[in-house]
Amino acid sequence: MVATIKEFEKDFLKAIRDGNAAIFAGAGLSRPSGYLDWRSLLKEIADDLGLDIDKEEDLIAVAQYHYNEKGQNRNKINQKILEEFTKEVKSNENLDILTRLPIQTYWTTNYDTLIEDSIEDKNRKPDIKITQENLALNVSDRDAIIYKMHGDVRTPENAVVTKDDYETFNLNRQLFSTNLQGDLISKTFLFIGFSFEDPNLAYILSRIRILLGENRRDHYCFFKKVQPTDYKNDEDYKYDLIKQELKCNDLKRYSINAILVDDYSEITEILRGIEFKTKLKNIFISGSAEEYGIFEKYDATNFMYNMSKELISQDFRVISGFGIGVGSYIINGALEEIYDSKFKKIDDYLTLKPFPQVSSSHKDLKELWTEYRKNLIYESGVAIFIFGNKKNDTGIINAAGVFEEFEIAKEYNKIIIPIGSTGYAAKEILQEVKSNLDKYWYLKDSIQILENESNGQKLINEIINILSHVLSYNIEIK
């Protein structure tokens, strides 16, 4: 049975939001960066044995044969691992997306360091588990755990590579099996970078079947569809098509749902969509106010306070740069809702990053503010614009910073909700949006309310309606 992309998105997004998502990475995740797959890694080893690697299906047996023929010496295999997986390579988009997502658990059979390097590049702290001894020690303030169940390039002599290594896995690495069992029961896994012919997948699946018993949770795996254009004759194509269908059905024994794609680039598109929709729950509120225009101050502050409170109650995360005349009311509303809710934690629902007033680096303060804005908006999926004015020597003017945040939100393809009735920069932003409603399709039924409504509660209700509308749609990511 094959899972639909929509089913996968729904389940995996929920798992991410609940903190129960996990990644299991195979060699295919590292290949776009320039590392070898198993077959390429063992080609020279097979040549030494007089074997044609392209004819071999059991690649682990090839490694074992070499070990046997060399008098139980695996030095060449170790050297090959060291040479191939210490080359200078770049990250790749799938890896970057997976390590940007708020996922805390990564399992891999790869020897390279791409996952941990990519996590560190995202300013996240990895806790890397390579040996059983590592499992007893925890890195403080870790953001992600990486289980390298088959070893690491830095200690190739301990890598799981031969049949002996696989067959004695539970003797030498029993605690990895125990941890994997717990995660498979409690988390939703995405297996990525595996092919049907991957020897690691076959061995992992055999362990999963034993580990899980009847305690099964749905997991997912990407595979490329068998395509007629990949075959010289129709008979071979039909044969492999039947075989693929049977293998997909067989994966259900392990509670793994196969997702078939026409091209590997589709996987990247799906992951982009997952990242985009994960961020839709993060709401950046842009605005500043020395005055509140047609709103009485009491009504304006109540509107901001209650809007923030309602967003938190609907399980959105509020992001604020603490704009003058706006930030304190946004924060107070968010905090009250968090404190009133038994299981909500501040760090999960509120991000507050006041703008620095003095530059402590070589950067100009304006340049530093732009960087701050980009970071705040990048982490969000939605930008709400309210008021947007400031005082200068001539009086009250529209806030240039709010306009800059609008431009950044457009550049990052964020969902934009301008509350034009609050006036000032927000009003001008609404006028631009209103002139291009094909792009801002999600506002077509709301634009009049956003432009004219002065009742705070009605505006809040409309904001929630827009967000619900966006979350329910399958948005194309560009």
SS (H, E, C) the chain: CECCHHHHHHHHHHHHHHCCEEEEECHHHHHHHCCCCHHHHCHHHHHHHCCCHHHCCCHHHHHHHHHHHCCCCCHHHHHHHHHHCCCCCCCCHHHHHHHHCCCCEEEECCCCCHHHHHHHHCCCCEEEECCHHHHCCCCCCCCEEEEECCCCCCCHHHCCCCHHHHHCHHHHCHHHHHHHHHHHHHCEEEEECCCCCCHHHHHHHHHHHHHHCCCCCCEEEEEECCCHHHCCCHHHHHHHHHHHHHHHHHHHHHCEEEEEECCCHHHHHHHHHHHHHHHCCEEEEECCCCCCCCCCHHHHHHHHHHHHHHHHHCCCEEEECCCCCCHHHHHHHHHHHHHHCCCCCHHHHEEECCCCCCCCCCCCHHHHHHHHHHHHHHCCCEEEECCCEEEECCEEEECHHHHHHHHHHHHCCCEEEECHHHCHHHHHHHHHHHCCCCCCHHHCCCHHHHHHCCCHHHHHHHHHHHHHHHHCCCCCCC
Q: What does the pLDDT read at residue 413?
A: 94
Q: What does the pLDDT read at residue 477?
A: 47
Centre a 10 Å sphere on the Cβ of residue 308 and count the other Cβ atoms it contains. Answer: 28
- pLDDT, one tens digit per residue, over 179-221 is 998 898 899 999 999 876 666 677 777 777 777 766 678 999 9
Task: Determine which one of 150, 219, 362, 469 is catalytic.
Answer: 150
Those residues of the chain that have pLDDT short of 70 are 1, 196-200, 213-215, 356-361, 474-478
Q: What does the pLDDT read at residue 472?
A: 82
Is 150 one of the annotated active-site residues of the chain?
yes
Say what the pTM is.
0.88
Q: What does the pLDDT read at residue 205?
A: 74
Q: What does the pLDDT read at residue 197?
A: 67
Angle at 250 between CA 245 and CA 253, to 5 degrees: 150
Centre a 10 Å sphere on the Cβ of residue 425 and count the other Cβ atoms it contains. Answer: 29
Q: What does the pLDDT read at residue 329?
A: 97
- pLDDT, one tens digit per residue, over 62-81 is 999 999 999 999 999 999 99
Q: What does the pLDDT read at residue 478?
A: 45
Instruction: Using the structure block, give the residue that is written with the tokens 């991957």.
Output: 198
Q: What does the pLDDT read at residue 186?
A: 92
d(CA 95, CA 268): 10
